Structure 1
């Protein structure tokens, strides 16, 4: 991510939005834009949160950001 941050825990839609809007290393890319839209749709209840999560993971892969996923 940005700065010296090495790891980031993302546990909510708010965390997804904050990460994409404030901390993402670049504001372009097809998967990035899809993740922004999916997050907004999930916040407004139009899609399930897991869809926003999947979009975030695809955007991270597109940006070359390693992802460790944990599902409870």
Structure 2
């Protein structure tokens, strides 16, 4: 398992309620931490799919970008604004 996989994972900026209000998710480890500790709701269908996809990506069963798609759907379900982070 590689918790800090960042290759092919396009970073996502999230706007949350509370402190800190903004987070950037760069790795699968960041995403796992976010889903477990900072997610506003843990009972949505897309949330459950994102958690499963995160485990699958960490274990190498799916590509990190496939997980990212599930993560973005879960963010939308939870009302979390998500932006692609572009580095120049």
> TM-score by structure 1 length?
0.92
CA–CA separation in structure 2 for the residues paired with 1:5 and 1:12: 18
Q: Measured at CA, do residues 2 and 14 of structure 1 come closer, stay the same or move farther in structure 2, by a change above 3 Å?
A: farther
The Cα of 1:12 is off from its aligned counterpart by 0.2
1:70 is aligned to: 85
Equivalent of 1:21, from 27, 30, 36? 36
Runs of 4+ that moved beyond 3 A = none
Aligned residue pair count: 72
The secondary structure found in structure 2 opposite 1:68 is: strand
- What is the alpha-carbon root mean square deviation over aligned residues? 1.4
State how far apart, in whole Å, the 1-side matches of 2:64 and 2:86 are: 13
Q: Quick one: higher RCO (CA 8 Å, sep 6+), 1 or 2? A: 2
Q: Offset of 1:71 from its aligned partner?
A: 5.4
Q: 1:30 aligns with which of 38, 45, 53?
A: 45
Answer 1 or 2: which has greater strand percent.
Answer: 2
Structure 1 CA distance, aligned partners of 2:66 and 2:34? 16
Structure 2: which 5+ residue stretches go unaligned? 1-15
Any stretches of 5+ residues in structure 1 without a counterpart? Answer: none
Q: Distance in 2 between matches of 1:27 and 1:43?
A: 20
